[in-house]
Amino acid sequence: MPTTPATAATSAPSGAAPSIMLELVDENGTTIGTAEKLSAHQAPGRLHRAFSVFLFDEEGRLLLQRRALGKYHSPGVWSNTCCGHPYPGEAPFTAAARRVSEELGVSPSLMAEAGTVRYNHPDPVSGLVEQEYNHLFVGMVQAPLRPDPEEVGETAFVTAQELAERHASVPFSAWFMTVLDAARPAIKELTGAAGGW
């Protein structure tokens, strides 16, 4: 059974916050163990499973989110629609759909796998390291957003040109361009050549 905040809480000492565990992987994405979330991100970082989601509206605009200021990692920066980590034993697709719902209050439509990408991105502000084997997903959002303010500070739908302008003028997550570039073939397939992605 996957370790979730609910099951982790049962083993946490009274009054202590439950530990969130991540799945450690080798360079091929094979699970080799688990580690507590913060410790996996402390320098030099431990390679772990993650996911990144890119959702688009009917006009082919990408949904971005600005991470809430209260987040311990990369607070207040813009990033892709949703990203996170599966619980140990949780399928990446299931985790991606779950986090979209938890963070943005919607269920993704037509979400499909878009490959994987492995990267090592230190965050110069926090000193934390994203050492990730990242599963990519693309899809549509077809319902009004209801963002959780503890997770999401702001949202925006942008065209490819608007993204380029925004990326040049405001802070984005260290991993954003890596995951976007890796997902581009699937994004182009979803949005069509006219979308400019």
Bridge-based pairing state of the strands 62-67 and 78-79: antiparallel
**Neighbouring residues of 2: CB distance < 8 A, sequence distance ≥ 6:** 86, 87, 88, 89, 90
The answer to whether residues 138 and 186 touch, using CB atoms and an 8 Å cutoff, is yes
Q: Determine the straight-line distance between the first and last CA of the chain, rounded to whole angstroms.
A: 39
**List 83, 90, 103, 130, catalytic entry:** 83
36 catalytic residue (yes or no): no
132 catalytic residue (yes or no): yes
Give Cα separations from 93 to 21, 34, 87, 90 (angstroms): 18, 19, 12, 9
SS3 13: coil
Length of the chain in residues, anyone? 197
**List 23, 103, 130, 132, catalytic entry:** 132
Which residues are known to be catalytic?
83, 132
